[in-house]
């Protein structure tokens, strides 16, 4: 998962950014970052053989992650020891977060390159966790369009570095409510919207995408995406209604239900924190060059080890992914090493590399505080 999962309405708004800060940022943005053609050419040249996904890696990684995740969730629910239950819960959060992060790969890898993977991901994770792939398909691709990135038309961008300091913690806090919002969306809004056209339009436009830009409105799906959307939405709606009914009739104990919601919430919060540092969030809405987009994005390469947990499935190389969106997650580390071996120390390539999650968060907080 590359973005938060409250659907689109939020109290965070670009209008919360101080006008003085936005004005100064616009002044600096008047001189656009020129394209670094050497960086772009070198990256493409040395990674040409890294664009093919390896199906075995995808299957083993995802199935292991979802297996460990659900197994640990069960361990947390059935454990009689609070300490052991918490331990299992933490493992479940990390494993299910990793399994969910494959939604990002689904939008970049052609279906015929991974036969059956999209379907199985939705059956084992997307529908049960109420985050089916249609909530990212057709959304994330806009974020990668050169003329859309960082603009008001980008569903996955907010100028957080230009907004008030409280916007940063609020950005994370609202993620804790995602499980409740998703249950409401699929158990209540989905069936009602099937018989109330104005509500359906609202649900499609504002509550059917993993986005962070509250100004974005999604267009109705067409063709094959529409068919997949409806199939997944019906499945998620049936599951959400069934789950709530089983809790209401005490077939599922309230304790087990709350643990499930807690694990869901933990995974979403972790993803939200990762999203918080995926970019520097410094653009004020102007179109940006490919190089500028790369520099506004973040890599956290080795020797750091914790990014393997909080930025799994290649997300620790987010800037590199924006430069080479066709390289599958399991080849991004090799791509980074090859490019680093070709470019001098003064290259723009290294300016997207950062040391740690904490340093990125503090830099963002200090940046937003400085604009207040």
Tell whether 257 is covered by a domain: yes
Under-70 pLDDT residues of the chain: 1-31, 365-372
Report the distance separating Cα 170 and Cα 84, nearest Å.
31
How far lies 64's CA from each of 108, 222, 346, in Å?
Answer: 21, 34, 41
- pLDDT in the model for residue 371: 59
- pLDDT in the model for residue 36: 95
Q: Which domain holds residue 150?
A: 14-371
Tell whether 105 is covered by a domain: yes
- Count of domains in the chain? 1
Tell whether 3 is covered by a domain: no
Tell whether 230 is covered by a domain: yes
Tell whether 6 is covered by a domain: no
Tell whether 2 is covered by a domain: no
Tell whether 9 is covered by a domain: no
Tell whether 262 is covered by a domain: yes
- pLDDT in the model for residue 26: 37
- pLDDT in the model for residue 367: 62
Quote the tokens at residue 324.
């080479």
How far lies 291's CA from each of 181, 299, 309, 351, 352, in Å?
Answer: 37, 14, 28, 11, 10
């Amino acid at each position: 998962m590359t973005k938060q999962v409250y659907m689109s309405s939020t109290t965070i708004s670009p209008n919360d950014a101080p006008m003085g800060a936005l004005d100064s940022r616009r002044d600096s943005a008047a001189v656009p970052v020129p394209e670094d053609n050497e960086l772009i050419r070198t990256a493409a040249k040395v990674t040409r053989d890294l664009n093919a996904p390896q199906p075995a890696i995808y299957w083993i990684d995802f199935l292991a992650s979802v297996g460990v995740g659900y197994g640990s969730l069960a361990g947390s629910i059935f454990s009689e020891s609070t300490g052991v239950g918490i331990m299992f819960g933490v493992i479940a959060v990390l494993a299910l977060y990793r399994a969910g992060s494959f939604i990002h790969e689904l939008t970049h890898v052609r279906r015929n390159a991974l036969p059956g993977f999209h379907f199985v991901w939705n059956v084992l994770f997307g529908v049960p966790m109420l985050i089916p792939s249609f909530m990212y398909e057709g959304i994330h691709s806009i974020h990668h369009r050169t003329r859309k990135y960082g603009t008001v038309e980008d569903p996955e961008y907010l100028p957080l570095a230009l907004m008030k300091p409280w916007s940063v913690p609020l950005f994370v806090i609202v993620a804790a409510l995602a499980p409740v919002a998703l249950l409401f969306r699929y158990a209540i809004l989905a069936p009602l919207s099937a018989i109330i056209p104005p509500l359906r339009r609202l649900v499609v436009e504002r509550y059917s995408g993993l986005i962070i830009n509250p100004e974005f409105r999604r267009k109705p799906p067409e063709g094959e995406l529409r068919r997949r959307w409806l199939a997944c939405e019906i499945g998620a709606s049936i599951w959400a209604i069934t789950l709530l009914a089983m809790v209401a009739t005490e077939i599922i104990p309230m304790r087990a239900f709350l643990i499930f919601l807690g694990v869901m919430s933990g995974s979403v919060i972790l993803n939200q924190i990762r999203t918080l540092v995926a970019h520097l969030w410094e653009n004020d809405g102007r179109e940006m060059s490919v190089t500028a987009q790369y520099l506004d994005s973040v890599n956290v390469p080795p020797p750091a080890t914790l990014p393997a947990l909080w930025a799994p499935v290649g997300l620790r190389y987010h800037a590199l992914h924006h430069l080479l969106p066709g390289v599958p997650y399991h080849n991004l580390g090799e791509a980074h090493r090859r490019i680093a071996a070709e470019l001098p120390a003064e290259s723009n390539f290294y300016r997207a590399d950062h040391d740690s999650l904490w340093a990125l968060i503090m830099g963002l907080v200090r940046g937003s505080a400085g604009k207040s």
